Amino acid sequence: MLHTILVPLDGSAFAETALPTAFHLARRDDADVLVVRVHEPALPVTRTRGARVVDPTLDQVLRWNADLVAMATHSRGGVERLLLGSVADKVLRESDRALLLWNPLETES
């Protein structure tokens, strides 16, 4: 049973496609939906000298007391993920919360 569903949004319409599913699940379990605005800091990789970039926004999102994180993903893979990175991949690797990834492009027919 879910109590709190966290939906991280970056201001794009694409990210907001996770909201209907999150609200549906919240109604089913009488849970709260916590919508947070997130972004990745624009730090050039050349300035980090290979060190891991700490993303305080992502870190803050991962500390919310949510049972589920619901977010949209582009489902990038291979070289595209290597070049562009993946926020969903970071959340998946760093969070101990259940994660629901939603790709609206795959559900269109």
Q: Residue 45 domain-assigned?
A: no
Q: Residue 34 domain-assigned?
A: yes
Q: What is the pLDDT of residue 83?
A: 37
Question: Which structural domain range is residue 75 located in?
Answer: 4-40+53-107
Averages of pLDDT over runs of 10 residues in the chain (109 residues) are 91 90 96 84 56 58 79 65 57 83 68
Q: Residue 95 domain-assigned?
A: yes
Residue 36 corresponds to which tokens in the numbers above?
A: 């947070």
Q: Residue 23 domain-assigned?
A: yes
Q: Residue 48 domain-assigned?
A: no
Domain count of the chain?
Answer: 1
Q: Residue 76 domain-assigned?
A: yes
DSSP secondary structure letter of residue 26: H
Q: Residue 64 domain-assigned?
A: yes
CATH number (domain holding residue 75):
3.40.50.620
Q: Where are the alpha helices (DSSP H) in the chain?
A: 13-16, 19-29, 45-48, 56-62, 78-84, 87-94, 104-107
User: What's the pTM?
Assistant: 0.69
Q: What is the pLDDT of residue 19?
A: 95
Q: Residue 46 domain-assigned?
A: no
From CA 60, how far away is CA 56, in angstroms rounded?
6
